[in-house]
Every structure is written in C-alpha cells, then in structure tokens.
Amino acid sequence: MDLLLIGGVSGSGKNVALGALEDSGYYAVNNLPLSLVEATVGYLANAGRNRVAIALDAKIAPGLTGLAATIARLRELKWNVRFLFLDAKTETLVKRFSETRRRHPFSSNERTLTEAIDYERQLLVEARPQGFTFDTSDTSSVALRSWIKDFASVDAGKLTLQLESFGFKHGVPLDADLVFDVRCLANPHYEPNLQPLTGRDLPVVAFLEKEAAVERMYADIERFISTWLPEYARDNRNYLTAAIGCTGGRHRSVYLVERLAKAFSPHYQVLIRHRELP
C-alpha cells in the first residue's frame, strides 16, 4: 500500500503535484489536517484504495507537528509512506501570489506577504527533513507534473539519486544535498554554432569530450558520489540530490548530469532534472 504525503510552503505547487498524482492513479485528498491522516487512510484502505496521495494542511497543526510519529505509525501498518516537501524561493512565491491575487494563509494585518512566507517557512523547519525536498522556483507547472509522475514511479524502499543541472546565475537549488561547480570547464556557450544547443545535443557532447579537464571533472564527481552514496544509504536516507552547476545551466552541467545518470542507473534509482531547460 502506497501513501504519498505532500507538504511545503504555500504557493510551491502542492495542488499541481496532487493533480499529477491523481492522474497517475492515486486517490487524492487535499488540505487534510495531520490529525485526520491515520483515520482517513484507514477508511480508504477499507474501501479498497491502496494508492493514496494527501496534501497536508499545516494551518490546523502548525508546522505539521507530529508528522514523524504519524509516518512511523503508518509504516507499522505496512504502508509505504513517502513525504514530499515542496519549496520555492521567497521572490518566486511573492510573484506567484501577486499574479494570482491569492491571499497567503498566514498573512494578516500584522504581517506583510514576505513576512507571512517567512513565518510559514519557520513553522515547517521540523517537517522539512522528514522527506524529500523539491525546489519548484524555476519549474513550470508542466515540468512539475512530469517530475511528480517520475517521482511517484520509483520504489520507496530504495535510495533514489536525483541528478540536477542548474545555472549559478539563477541561484543554487534549495533542494541540493551536494553541489558541484563546473564553471571552470570550457564553455560551449562561446561557440556560435553551439550556443543555441544544450548538453544533450551531439555537437556539444563532442565539444566537451575533447576537453581533458571535462573528463577529469567527470571522474572526480563520479568517484565522489560512488564513494559516499552507500554511506548515505546506510544512514537511512531514501533520497539524495546532487546538483551540478555551470553558468547558464544549459551545456556543461546538462552534459555531466546525463553522463552520470547513465553510470548510476544500473545500480540505483535515478531521477534527472534539468532546471534551466524547458
């Protein structure tokens, strides 16, 4: 029986994620207080529902107090429980609320929108480490739906390695556990015929594979992850995100993520995310 709990800051895409899970065959429940999760899951199990996705309401139990204990009890009942925490940069959240003209659930006469966002984020500090964090700051709704479906398809009982490319000029991902900076490598962006391409395209691959420094960088990153990934697994980690960044996040980092994914896929569950690509 598979239970996927969704939490995170308001405006980070929880409704989009829940919709994607419903499309993938999950029975979806929105804005459920944590105190009602166990009873709801029990009711749905008796009704024959064995794939359930619940978006948690953090207002009634501020900060999702008791989340770890709830997850532990549900696992004792033989549910495969995963907790997905969605986050986004404050400036992104401000823009989203301004565009939709929605009221932030923690805003008041005493708090500005930015203060409400900061207040909610502080409330959720203890809940965040209970699961996998995903930064939706630069992710479109279409891309988020696609990623959620990939996330739902992996085995919850095994460690999942997420390899993420990004551009430093757009900021470091909030969800990164490990960050590798590859801006020192030769940049295809300065080659006019390669500039509009990405690290997935063969001409860019050929350009980078001619560079000895690229091979050394790849070998060092591959060796580091290979050495330490088993230790993360022994620490009962279910997810690890290794982010690789270049200047724009379209060439060097994309190439290295794709190559690393091929190397690790035979041994681990691998998710790929190219943050700056459509």
Under 8 Å between Cβ of 157 and 97: no
pLDDT per 10-residue tile (average), the chain, 278 residues: 95 96 95 95 94 93 89 93 96 93 88 94 93 93 93 86 96 95 98 97 98 98 96 86 98 98 95 94
The confidence score (pLDDT) of residue 96 equals 94
Give domain 2-153's CATH number out of 3.30.70.270, 3.30.470.10, 3.40.50.300, 3.60.110.10: 3.40.50.300
Q: Give residue limits of the domains in the chain.
A: 2-153, 161-274
Instruction: Indicate the SS3 state at residue 70.
Output: helix
The confidence score (pLDDT) of residue 237 equals 83
Query: Would you put residue 22 in left (φ > 0), alpha (ψ -120 to 50) or beta?
Result: alpha
The confidence score (pLDDT) of residue 236 equals 76
The confidence score (pLDDT) of residue 278 equals 85
Q: Return the number of other C-beta atoms located less than 10 Å from residue 36's C-beta.
A: 16
Lookup result for tokens 């900061």: 118
Written as six digits, the tokens of 79 are 């549910």
Of 165, 162, 166, nearest to 177 by C-alpha is 162
The confidence score (pLDDT) of residue 180 equals 98
The confidence score (pLDDT) of residue 63 equals 82
The confidence score (pLDDT) of residue 157 equals 75
The confidence score (pLDDT) of residue 235 equals 83
Residue 169 is classified by DSSP as: G
- Measure the CA–CA gap between 70 and 61, rounded to whole angstroms: 12
Q: Which residues of 127-139 are buried (b: 16+ CB within 10 A; e: fewer)?
A: bbebbbbbbbbbb
The confidence score (pLDDT) of residue 3 equals 96
- Would you tell me the crossing angle of helices 37-46 and 67-76 to the nearest 10 degrees? 30
Under 8 Å between Cβ of 83 and 7: yes
